Amino acid sequence: MTDVIENAALTWAPAVPPSDLEEFGVAAATVGGLKVALYAVDGEYYATADLCTHGAASLADGFLDGELIECPLHQGTFNVKTGAAVGAPCSVAVRTFPVKLEGGLLHVGLPGAA
């Protein structure tokens, strides 16, 4: 649940229920007009931008292995906790967003007025 925008106000946008992540550990959502991928890792929830920084592929369509998401296009990998690109050919980090569970839904923290 990495907050990449420190000391900034966040707008919490509802995304999906945690049950959407049960089968594959990852699900796509659109929050505030932004496509994100949400992940369940060891009982915690994380979110990244859904678009691979190497190619135009949805990370939510990738394979989640522990805390690593594999891009379905070229099999590069990112750490979903930090956004770091950890496997070639990916070399640019993917943006991360904080996630909280509230009212039975996962909410993604987006920059903006609270």
State the 10-residue block means of pLDDT for the chain, 114 residues long.
Answer: 53 96 95 95 97 93 96 95 95 96 96 62
Number of domains composing the chain: 1
SS3 assignment, position 39? strand
pTM summary value: 0.89
Q: Within a domain: residue 26? A: yes
Range of the domain at 79: 10-111
Cα gap 78→68, rounded to integer Å: 5
pLDDT for residue 41: 97
Kindly state whether residue 102 falls inside one of the protein's structural domains: yes
pLDDT attached to residue 111: 85
Give domain status of residue 88, yes or no: yes
- Contact residues for 15 (Cβ-Cβ < 8 A; gap 6+): 29, 31, 36, 38, 47, 99, 105, 106, 107, 108
